[in-house]
Chain A
Amino acid sequence: MNFDAHLLEIIKWHFSPETGCPFWLDWARKNFDPCKEIRSSADMLKFPHFQDEWLRDLQPEAWVPAAFKGKPFNIFETGGTTGMPKQRIGWNDYKTDYEEFSGKISDEHFPRGGAWLMVGPTGPRRLRLAIEHLANFRGSSCYFIDLDPRWVKKALTAKDFDHARAYMDHVVEQAVNILKNRKVAGLFTTPKLLEALAEKINLYETGIRGVFCGGTTMAPQYVRFIIEEVLEDKIGFYPTYGNTLMGLAASLPLRPEDNYSITYYAPQPRAILRVVNPQKTDETVPYGAWGRVELTTLTKEFFMPRFLERDEAIRREPRAPYTWDGVAEVRPFGAMEKTIVEGVY
């Protein structure tokens, strides 16, 4: 199915009383009828930016499409938010996303049946179920070590660096314990935890063959450091950009000419990433330029038009097998102007 056909199907789904959710049906009554107004992806600019407060303030039931009514849903929360988090409900989207992603990682790095270890935010996050599903989908099981990014963020905001470090040590110590006592081949973690883990244990010698990484900024020099020194050019590295609202955008293997700059491609047609001019968000920035990341999610479980992420990135050209734009060197929006608390997450 081409992208516009998918878009029209999703619009029709969310804005038809027999399938749509209370929030969007109500929204259409007060604004315009997308079933009539949206004919192609260009028309998506008619939607205003999705407000993240809606995901904080409204009860989850407001987002249940009529077609899913009565089916218990998962409630997923966004990562490091303190205060009331954004919540996204879902049923099978995470499975769809991660089954597709499974086709992008090699059996050499993540041998089928070989155990996984996830060291990172579990709790109310989509990632926890997603990673386990990915492992299971590949015939593997997964160990988990939790990290609470909200606690780390609190400690760092209060400049309690000793506490944050002690907590990180506590997390890493548990992971080392698993790696020393169980056979693990695949690892999901955040870059900072990966680095800390590698300071305590030789990942290759312990049996790790593939690392799937996501969750925070990975500038080219840092990527180079991870590949050359942490993974010693021996372990497969799969950086991704993702979150609860989008799913995950995969990256392509690095080429020498990339100079360690990672470009991510959204899981279209289920999600679209645009890199827009922060001052005029209707416009995308030219290729190679920095702009703010705008996310549109288009699944039958969740419709979210034009949400401005708190990230900025470089817009990149399509690259096979992807026929759509990529986003590169993602970092917190305004990272060059102000200090952003990212912590270990």
Chain B
Amino acid sequence: MAEPRRWYLITYDIRDPKRWRKVYALLKGYGEWLQLSVFRCLLTDRDREQLRWELARRMDPVDTLLVIGLCGGCVERVRAINPGEDWPEEPPPFRVL
């Protein structure tokens, strides 16, 4: 019943260190940093649109962005090809630390 969420792989190429920092910090608030300029985020449609808007405000036309939406089958294959990594289907609704 909760809003459906999907995995997204987000990669970028930013030509200016100042903008790069801003984009990096923004993405840290949405998801997990995997590798240099590669993030993965589990987003609802609303989050995705909000993120795209926030990115559009911080980036310049010379910068490039690639947002890859992963369907259930794609995530399955990511899991199969990279068995060490954990791509949870539905993260638990709480954390106790």
**B is bound to A:** no
Interface residues of A (CB under 8 A from B): none
Interface residues of B (CB under 8 A from A): none
